[in-house]
Amino acid sequence: MALLQIDATSEVLTGLSEVEELYVVKPSLESLGADRYRVGGYAAESVIPDLEARGCVVTVMMSTDAIERFNRQVEDSIAPSSPDV
Amino acid sequence: MPAPYPDIKAPLLPHQIEDALADLAVTFPTLCTRTVFAGKTFKNKSQSYIKIAKGGGVRPAVLVTGGVHAREWAPPDALVTLARNLLVAYTTGADIGFPAMAVTPVGGTAVTYKPWAIKFADVKGIVENLDLYLFPLVNPDGREFDLTPPIDAIGWRKNVSPQAGGNIGVDLNRNFDIIWKFEDYFDVPVYKSRYGNTTPASTDPAADTYRGPGKHSEQETKNVESLLDTLPIGYYVDVHMAGRNILYSWGLEENGDVPTMTFQNAVFNGTRDGLPKGDSKLPVGRTDYQEYLPDDPPHRIRSRGKFGADIMRDAILRSAGGGALPASGTPQWTHSLYVSGQSAFLYLPVGGGPNSGCSDDYACSRQFLNPARQPLFAYTLEMGHLEEQFFHCDYRDVPGHFRKINREIHAALFGLFKVVVTSAQPTPPEPPLQRVCLIATATLGDPAHPDVRYLRHLRDERLRATPAGAKAADLLDRVYYSFSPAVARHLEGHPRARAIVRALVIRPLVAALRRLFGPMAPDRPPDPPDDGKKQEQAQEQADARERRQADGPGPAQADGQGGIR
Ligand SMILES: [Zn+2]
């Protein structure tokens, strides 16, 4: 899963609910003016052509690899888990 | 753990958060009290909240919660940090200082921020004039699951209780007892005509926004509800991630002026549209439904609700400017500009409409179920941003995402706290002890019933006479209020149930308490034996009245001229 920034019109954004492989973070919605909006979400890089074909301008903010590396670093930095009691 | 406390450099695990709260209560015993909830989570975890306050008396109360959604790492850690900062600053007489920092947005270049401080005078004002309740981690099971390797890119939102079909987890922020059964509240086909194939919450146990098998089915939800039901909260803030939004009530529907258009009014069941004003999807001939949120003096609930959100937005911006608003268009402005808006429609272009079962709406609804609770302001903060990696922000000094979000949470909350303590105080509700007889009143049908009066006397005068008794009364309050409003509401419409509760619960309880504590002193006539007789006679009369009611409606009631009460 990569972290994506998606710019599109409201009509295109509404249609993104059909893209099952895309996880949109709704509270990230921002207006860019003139019926253009920006939203963030997660999807594999392979989904990007579909999004672009729908009229989205997609920017990869963090690649799948970068997120993986980040998560491994966090796993190393958090304290050991407490046993369930 | 002695103060000063180190900066948090990685997401705290649930047991570390509990330890941190316990440590604060031990280290600052005169300022900070910790209460452990009676119920445990599915994973058998204990949960607690703290109250920070110096002194007592009637004053505004604020409740802040965090960690409702498991993957939203920053809020619980920021709330622990805030509690530590507040207590250390008050004790040492120092400002809460935030050093200059450089924060690198994802895909961008570092932005520098000036130092910023919360003045000791403000710290003092807050600790001495506010009852601050902090419940930093509402969903510990979910957080532990989210932080268990391998950490998932999107992260886990729900708790982890087992659900139908082998699924796990309920979205706690769709589980609250406020229009939980959205299909009763809304005209779902109209809702779907506007928002696509989506509903205000999901009924699919596999979904991220699954509302749960029943309203407040989850212990975590019950815990938050119990605080909102039992404490005289005037301001509630639920801190989430992410999107740089500050949401104010309602999230159910568009705010409106018509007093009869309320979530309680069954006349509108199944016809509420969930649409913003003027929406073309409103069926022809249908009145646009709007949820009543009064804006009348003295409370001006709607205007002041928005005002509080704007205060928080501006406070965040000011903190980004080191205490002064940064110039519009500067990086400090651009990367710290939050949007304040009504919860129901802020995400419209991505199919975001009203939601059901949310914590902020539950809080807001309390003042309509009990008008003595007015005014009550409720907010949801969506902290952080895509350029700060959304839910899983980076805690390292570089890029500094958590450091920035932590500062923003401090700014927003202290901005609100300052307004709360310096502006007109919200009208406090009746002390809980005055209302603790809800069930007894509902059961016996009369607040002046001798048993109700005896219970009230016992709580307010006998138990309050000693510190230990006051503690017992507080405990009684908390336990009682965790369920009594709902039970009382139910009993009001069910005479037979009232008769059963009266016979099996209230009467034996009062008899036992009378044996233990003796009769009610203020009503005691010169000759004590008469007192008992009088009370018995009054009880018999009240019981006879109750029996008639429990036997069902008589002819007068069938004509609509009588009623249960
Ligand atoms: Zn959330």
Amino acid B128: pLDDT: 97
Mean pLDDT of B552-559: 28
How high does pLDDT run on average in chain B? 85
pLDDT digits (tens, 9 = 90+) for B458-496: 665 555 444 445 445 545 544 444 445 556 656 656 777
Tokens encoding B213: 């098998």
Mean pLDDT of B211-232: 98
Pairwise pLDDT comparison (B221 vs B499), residue with the higher score: B221
Cα B520 to Cα B450: distance, rounded to the nearest angstrom = 10
3-class secondary-structure state, position B267: helix
- Asked if residue B557 has pLDDT above 60, the reply is no
Contact between residue B139 and residue B69 where contact means Cβ atoms under 8 Å apart: yes
Amino acid B405: pLDDT: 98
Contact between residue B443 and residue B506 where contact means Cβ atoms under 8 Å apart: yes
Amino acid B493: pLDDT: 63
Nearest chain A residue to B105 by CA distance is A61
3-class secondary-structure state, position B547: helix
Contact residues for B366 (Cβ-Cβ < 8 A; gap 6+): B228, B229, B233, B373, B376
Amino acid B435: pLDDT: 44
> Which of A13, A59, A78 has its CB closest to that of B13?
A78
CA angle B87, B90, B93 (to 5 degrees): 140
- Asked if residue B540 has pLDDT above 90, the reply is no
Residue B244's nearest CA partner among A40, A14, A22 is A40
Residues with CB under 5 A from ligand 1 (ion): B 69, 240
Cβ-based neighbour number of residue B513 at 10 Å: 15
Q: Which of A26-35, B39-48, B529-538 has the highest mean pLDDT?
A: B39-48
Mean pLDDT of B452-458: 65
Amino acid B274: pLDDT: 95
* Residue % of chain A over a pLDDT of 90: 79
Pairwise pLDDT comparison (B73 vs B504), residue with the higher score: B73
Q: What amino acid occupies position A24?
A: V
Among B2-11, B77-86, B123-132, where is mean pLDDT lowest?
B2-11
Cα B378 to Cα B367: distance, rounded to the nearest angstrom = 11
Q: What amino acid occupies position B14?
A: P
Q: H helices of B278-389, where?
A: 301-320, 331-334, 359-369
- Chain B residues within 8 angstroms (CB to CB) of chain A: 9-16, 43-44, 106-107, 144, 147-154, 196-198, 240, 242-243, 245, 339, 346-352, 382, 385-387, 389-390, 392, 394-395
Contact residues for A73 (Cβ-Cβ < 8 A; gap 6+): none
Model confidence at B532, pLDDT cuts 50, 70, 90, reads very low
Residues 21-50 of A with CB under 8 A from B: 23-31, 37, 39-40, 42
What are the phi and psi torsion angles at B471 (to 5°)? Answer: -60, -45
Among B291-300, B308-317, B403-412, B448-457, where is mean pLDDT lowest?
B448-457
> Residue B120 Cα, ligand 1 centroid: separation in angstroms?
32
Tokens encoding B408: 């923003």
pLDDT digits (tens, 9 = 90+) for B372-413: 998 999 999 999 999 999 999 999 999 999 999 999 999 999
pLDDT digits (tens, 9 = 90+) for B310-320: 999 999 999 99
Topology, domain A2-77 = Alpha-Beta Plaits (3.30.70)
CA distances (Å), origin A42, targets A60, B152, B371: 10, 11, 44
* Residue % of chain B over a pLDDT of 90: 69
What are the phi and psi torsion angles at B502 (to 5°)? Answer: -60, -45
- Structural domains of chain B, with CATH: 118-422 (3.40.630.10), 439-560 (no CATH)
Cα B307 to Cα B376: distance, rounded to the nearest angstrom = 13
Contact between residue B234 and residue B58 where contact means Cβ atoms under 8 Å apart: no
pLDDT digits (tens, 9 = 90+) for B423-438: 754 443 344 444 445 5
pTM value is 0.79
Task: Give the dihedral sign, CA B459/B465/B468/B470.
Answer: positive
CA distances (Å), origin B447, targets B159, B249, B275, B536: 41, 33, 42, 16
Distance from CA of A28 to the nearest CA of B (A): 4
Substitution target from B386, B390, B391 for chain A, most A beta carbons within 10 A? B386
pLDDT digits (tens, 9 = 90+) for B3-34: 679 999 999 999 999 999 999 999 999 999 99
Model confidence at B517, pLDDT cuts 50, 70, 90, reads low
The angle that helices B14-27 and B74-92 make with each other, rounded to 10 degrees, is 10
Residue B335's nearest CA partner among B406, B388, B379, B413 is B388
B330: left (phi over 0), alpha (psi -120 to 50) or beta: beta
- Asked if residue B551 has pLDDT above 70, the reply is no
Amino acid A79: pLDDT: 67
Model confidence at B546, pLDDT cuts 50, 70, 90, reads very low
- Asked if residue A18 has pLDDT above 70, the reply is yes
